[in-house]
Chains A and B, each alone.
Chain A
Amino acid sequence: DAGVIQSPRHEVTEMGQEVTLRCKPISGHDYLFWYRQTMMRGLELLIYFNNNVPIDDSGMPEDRFSAKMPNASFSTLKIQPSEPRDSAVYFCASTPHGGHTEAFFGQGTRLTVV
């Protein structure tokens, strides 16, 4: 398996623009997580899905952030409009099931909002 695949790897956008980050989880994994990594806050969970259904989005910072999982092999994280403080590395991770399993992480998307 190719692992968790994220695209793009790097994204530079202007403030106010819409940004869409993409993730393909490992086939057969039921859980998908979106994390954000910043110097100030470290790694924090934004939202996670179980069987394509959002379970907990309490980590989503504002209404500007939204995430979808239309099918088992694809998820998006969208920021609209983007702001400079959204600059971070965004990771997607998947697990075969919750609890007794490790999370497999993608390479991340480095987002810079100027």
Chain B
Amino acid sequence: AQSVTQPDIHITVSEGASLELRCNYSYGATPYLFWYVQSPGQGLQLLLKYFSGDTLVQGIKGFEAEFKRSQSSFNLRKPSVHWSDAAEYFCAVGLSNTGKLIFGQGTTLQVKP
């Protein structure tokens, strides 16, 4: 069965420090992978997506993610975190041809001043 695992429920980093959020997926076919961000009381906003091609994808707000098929991973990174990045981050796998999304449990990011 398809699944997405985000091992870290909560992460705290200092402002200006680098960030990596982990995501592992289980899916039998070629995965379509997404990272979404949710600020408190808001909907989900797409940060970036991977469908095919270059395994390092760039997104909005300075985020990037790297698809590693051998590790079934799609980790999100940012070189320097800003206080406004504090939010909940969701990794998701899209099921081909349907658009259905399977989400991970989410990682809450706290940014220390």
- Which residues does A use to contact B, with CB under 8 Å? 4, 31, 33, 35, 42-45, 48, 55-56, 91, 93, 95, 97-108
Contacts and interface: CB of A to CB of B under 8 A. Distances in A.
Contacts of B101: 33, 35, 43, 45, 103
Interface residues of B, number: 23
A107 B98 contact: no
B67 to A, nearest CB: 15
A4 to B, nearest CB: 8
Contacts, number: 58
Given A42-B105, A56-B100, 5 more contacts: A43-B101, A43-B106, A104-B46, A105-B43, A107-B42
Contacts of A93: 44
A45 B43 contact: no
Which one of A45, A93, A97, A103 has the greatest number of beta carbons of chain B within 10 Å?
A103
A113 B101 CA distance: 27
A45 B97 CA distance: 16
B97 A99 contact: yes
B96 interface: yes
B99 A107 contact: no
Contacts of B106: 42-43
A61 B102 CA distance: 16
Given A42-B104, A100-B32, A100-B51, A55 B43 contact: no
Contact of A45 (B34, B45, B100): B100
Contacts of B90: 43
A93 to B, nearest CB: 8
